[in-house]
Amino acid sequence: MNTAFPENLDSYLEMKRYRLVRSVLVYEKGQLAYERYFGKGGIHQRHPIKSVWKSILSLTLGICLDKGWIKDIDEPVSRFLPSFSRRSHPYHAALTIRHLVTMSSGIYWNSGTHYHAPMLDQMRRSNDWAAHIADVRVANCPGTRFTYNEWDVILLSALIGKVCGGSAWDVCRERLYNPLGIDSHPWTQSNCGIAYPSYGPDTTDALSARDMAKIGLLMLNNGLWDRQQVVSGGYIMRSVCPSPMNAGYGWLWWLSEKGYHARGFGGQELNVYPDHNIVAVIQADITPSGKSYNDICENII
């Protein structure tokens, strides 16, 4: 770790006008190497993680595969979600779980200004979210183009809920959060039973910086936590390999030359640097512009 940088972090944040940063935390070689909080709350403050949730959902998928609840990443979505078995679009038959986890379903998506996502508002007014998404036109053949979107993770969450007989939150709480000792409120669920915590004013995806770091440490240790294999090492390795559609994206994890990353709107970051044996977390207050602070962790490394 670049030990000189944390010592000058205050002046760096002031120079960059990063007044909304609330926590910076670094683990090196499994040990807490740096921890700093700004404003109220401290180590017990839970902060919305936004789309960091997507990477956590990837881990719940890994658990489902490990348990045999899902046999293969290439199983068709229509096998689990009846709305996609009605063949309202010819590409629905080709849609697989792999396409959902690599953001390549091909279903049309428009995020709106500053990721306001009016398409999500329309979906939230429907009684059946999966059926609503199944009625959205398919713009590209599945598996041919990367488009960062919300449809794919909503469908993945719905699918995980189907295979476990509950919701994706049940899998996450029992099989991921509990073994790691992570404290979280239950995820928001739709009236149709789909867990989707990271959108809207009632977000329930808040975690402390230390709890976010636990996810990174689990990844760094190939799914092993306190002598328990929470997620298989094979899944961890595959989830951080580049997809054919985007070399900078794996299975709901962002990739870079230095490592892999879970990132959420407004500057929420979980960064894992395997070659340096480092996990770094940043949390920040959220603004409509969706500010990011990638340079902080780059300087720490």
Q: What are the C-alpha distances in Å from 164 to residues 43, 48, 67, 185, 300?
A: 33, 26, 10, 20, 40
Spatial neighbors of 7 by CB under 8 A, at least 6 apart, are none
Tokens at residue 271, please?
């960064």
30-86 confidence digits (pLDDT tens): 999 999 999 877 888 888 999 999 999 999 999 999 999 999 999 999 999 999 998
Task: Name the amino acid, one letter, at 230.
Answer: V
Confidence of residue 254 (pLDDT cuts 50, 70, 90): very high
74-133 residue pLDDT tens? 999 999 999 999 877 899 999 999 999 999 999 999 988 767 789 999 999 999 999 999
Do the strands 278-284 and 260-264 form a parallel or antiparallel pair, or are they unpaired? unpaired
Distance, CA of 16 to CA of 241 (rounded, Å)? 33
The structure tokens listed for 246 are 């985007």
Three-class secondary structure of residue 40 per DSSP: coil
Tell me how crowded residue 15 is: count the other CB atoms within 10 A of its CB.
9
User: Token pair for residue 123?
Assistant: 């979906």
Q: What is the pLDDT of the chain when averaged over all its residues?
A: 93
pLDDT of residue 163: 96
CATH 2.160.20.10 describes domain 4-300? no
Residue 159 has pLDDT above 90, yes or no: yes
The pTM of the full predicted model, rounded to 2 decimals, is 0.95
